[in-house]
Amino acid sequence: MAEDYQGLELTTESAAAAAAYSHCLRGYMGYQTDVGAHLKATLAADGDMPMALITRGYFFHLFSIPALERKAAESARSAQAAIAARGATQREHWHLAALQAWNVGDMAGATDWWEQILLHHPHDVMAVRLSHFTHFYLHGGGAMRQSSNRILPAWDENRPDYGFILGISAFSHEEAGDYAAAAAAGKRAVEINPKDIWATHAVAHVYEMQGRQDEGIAWLDGLSGQWAALNNFRFHTWWHKAMYHLEKAQHDTVLDLYDRQFWAEPSEEYLDFTNAAAMLWRLDYRGVDVGQRWSVLADVAERHNRDAILAFADAHYMMALAKDGRQAAAQAMLDNLAETAQGKGDQARVTAAVGLPVCRATLALCQGKAGEAADILLPLRDHIWRLGGSHAQRDVWAQMICRSLLEAGRFEDARGLLAQRTAMKNNSPMSWRWYAEALDGCGDSAGAAAARQNAA
Ligand SMILES: [Fe+2]
């Protein structure tokens, strides 16, 4: 039996297929653009290799596009037929079960299978990356860190791609709030491999969360030359650089990064879209004229308003539709999400509890109904995390909640949330200005003056 580059058995007679599959795995870990080509080469060498067929199904899901969901189901059927014909290892059977769970919208069930695999095979890099991904969208930093802590003792510096595992550990620590551990692991991973963009990004998050904008800019400037050959995740890393400049009120630089780096061309990739929409939303709050950029995003969003695969992505599509006044497309999206919310699967539950109300509030805000938005959003303030994404990404909704309260004149509510916000990140001038607005509204002019001084 053949093995992958980590020494895990693959059910194939073809050494060429096993070698190509190893390139595919390494490319996937490294955010390379040739992952699909390596998978095609694997299937060209052995069209019935179970792990290759299962991996094809996984990759279809990662796009979060309805047409590709159907192809993922086809891949699972092909893998099942191949396994029936030639057999498979226990690990491959578990992978098939994970894909089948994902195919019916049970991301948590799929994650359980990957975690089961990792208890027995901690070097299964596909299970490592996919569970990291789904924990990120379903369970948050604590689960990510528990997952990476379970496998780390099985890895060491001599094993290929150890750095990528460190990068995963780094981001897990960051989302779990241990910034020192995150920075240490992330920086070591980047020493091992300066092209390790996930580890680079983990350290960028540390600087973001700690409000260390200048260090963040220097960190990314020093590494951005490494990303030219990497996939679209590099756009998200450029977005992080723009986030630092945004906090420094360097709006021209933010727009330049938007136009030249992370939204240089319209993209159908949901992560690219979320970068762009969330940045424009933030710029609007700072009174920056973003020109026709919302309209360009709304054209893309109109093609995705019935996706309903990832609630996190849907909430961003709605931002563009609402901002650009695409009332019909926005209403169609709400109707479709209401239907999705009745369905089965993790994302249906998230849509029902958080995604749909957040989209309703987003539309209400853009229609000038701040009170309606505030009524929806305030009770959700401790539940937004269920949308998935990072703390940094979800902060756009924390801002949205505060702003809707201020615009609705609900200053007492806003005062509490802004006190919370300024306590967590006390060098954000915008948060202090908003806090001052709330305090003024509450009649506390001395407190407002002090907050304004902090802003300055
Ligand atoms: Fe990020």
Q: How far is CA 4 from CA 1, 19, 21, 24, in A?
A: 10, 7, 7, 10
Three-class secondary structure of residue 108 per DSSP: helix
pLDDT-derived band at 419 (thresholds 50, 70, 90) equals very high
Q: What is the mean pLDDT of residues 437-441?
A: 98
Where b means 16+ CB within 10 Å and e means fewer, 320-339 reads: bbbbbebeebbeebbebbee
Quote the CA–CA distance of 42 and 54 in Å, as a whole number.
12
Rounded distance from Cα 410 to ligand 1 centre (Å)? 32
- The token pair that represents 75 in the structure block: 């891949």
How sure is the predictor about 393, in pLDDT bands with cuts at 50, 70 and 90?
Answer: very high
How far does the centroid of ligand 1 lie from the alpha carbon of residue 212, in Å? 15
User: 169 CA distance to ligand 1 centroid (A)?
Assistant: 14
Instruction: Report CA(167)–ligand 1 centroid distance (Å).
Output: 13
**β-pair partners for 3:** 9
Q: How far from the centroid of its chain's Cα atoms is residue 200's Cα?
A: 15
Query: Which pLDDT band holds residue 426 (cuts at 50, 70, 90)?
Result: confident
The two tokens of residue 103 are 């195919």
What is the predicted pLDDT for the residue at 398? 96
Q: Is 230 helix (H, G, I), strand (E, B) or coil?
A: strand
Q: How far apart are CA 12 and CA 50, in angstroms?
A: 8
Q: Give 271 Cα–ligand 1 centroid separation in angstroms.
A: 10
Percentage of the chain with pLDDT > 90? Answer: 97
DSSP per-residue codes, 264-299:
SS----HHHHHHHHHHHHHHHHTT---TTHHHHHHH
| 237 CA to centre of ligand 1 in angstroms | 7
Ligand 1 center to residue 19 CA distance, Å? Answer: 32
* Alpha-carbon span 54 to 113, nearest angstrom: 13
Q: What confidence score (pLDDT) does residue 427 get?
A: 86
**Residue 171 CA, ligand 1 centroid: distance in Å:** 9
pLDDT at 1 over 90: no
Tell me the percentage of the chain whose pLDDT exceeds 70: 100
Q: Which two tokens stand for residue 315?
A: 């909430």
How many whole angstroms from its chain centre is CA 285? 22
pLDDT at 71 over 90: yes
pLDDT bucket at 425, cuts 50 / 70 / 90: confident
Q: Give the mean model confidence (pLDDT) for residues 424-452.
A: 95
Q: From ligand 1's centre to the CA of 18, what distance in Å?
A: 33
Give, in degrees to the nearest 5, the angle at Cα 206 between 389 and 157.
95
Cα(382) to centroid of ligand 1, in Å?
20
Instruction: Output the CA 391–ligand 1 centroid distance in Å.
Output: 9
User: What pLDDT, on the 0 to 100 scale, is given for residue 131?
Assistant: 98
Region 330-335: what's the mean pLDDT?
A: 98
Give the Å distance between the CA of 1 and the centre of ligand 1: 39
pLDDT digits (tens, 9 = 90+) for 26-63: 999 999 999 999 999 999 999 999 999 999 999 999 99
Mean of all residue pLDDT scores within the chain: 97
pLDDT at 87 over 90: yes
- Residue 205 CA, ligand 1 centroid: distance in Å: 6
- How far away, in angstroms, is 89 Cα from ligand 1 center? 36
Please choose, from the candidates 387, 193, 172, the residue with its C-alpha nearest in 3D space to the C-alpha of residue 183. Answer: 172
Report how far ligand 1's centroid is from the alpha carbon of 193 (Å). 19
266 pLDDT higher than 90: yes
Residue 236 Cα, ligand 1 centroid: separation in angstroms? 6
Mean per-residue pLDDT, 405-417: 97
Structure-token pair, residue 7 = 């020494």
**Interval between CA 295 and ligand 1 midpoint (Å):** 25
CA of 71 to the centre of ligand 1 (A): 28
Mean pLDDT of the region 136-142: 95
Q: How far is the CA of 322 from the centre of ligand 1 (A)?
A: 24
Distance in Å, CA 39 to ligand 1 centroid: 27
Domains and CATH numbers, the chain: 1-139 (1.25.40), 141-265 (1.25.40.10), 409-455 (no CATH)
State the CB neighbour count (10 A cutoff) for residue 97: 19
> Ligand 1 mean position to 27 CA, how many Å?
20
The candidate with the shortest Cα–Cα distance to 276, out of 287, 288, 265, 289, is 265
pTM: 0.96
Say whether pLDDT at 286 is over 90.
yes
pLDDT exceeds 90 at position 367? yes
Query: At 32, phi and psi to the nearest 5?
Result: -80, 160
* Cα 338 to averaged position of ligand 1 atoms, centre (Å): 29
Average pLDDT of 385-393? 96
Alpha carbon of 214 to ligand 1 centroid (Å): 17
Q: Using the mean position of ligand 1's atoms as its centre, give its distance from the Cα of residue 385 in Å.
A: 15
How far away, in angstroms, is 196 Cα from ligand 1 center? Answer: 14
Residue 413 alpha carbon to ligand 1 centre in Å: 29
- Give pLDDT tens digits for 160-192: 999 999 999 999 999 999 999 999 999 999 999
Q: How far apart are CA 323 and CA 316, in angstroms?
A: 11
- pLDDT at 217 (0 to 100): 98
Tell me, in angstroms, the distance from the centre of ligand 1 to residue 201's CA.
Answer: 6
Cα 291 to the center of its chain, rounded Å: 26
Tokens standing for residue 70: 């159907």
Distance between Cα 215 and ligand 1 center (Å): 16
Collapse the DSSP code of 3 into the 3-class scheme (helix H, G, I; strand E, B; otherwise coil) and give the result. Answer: strand
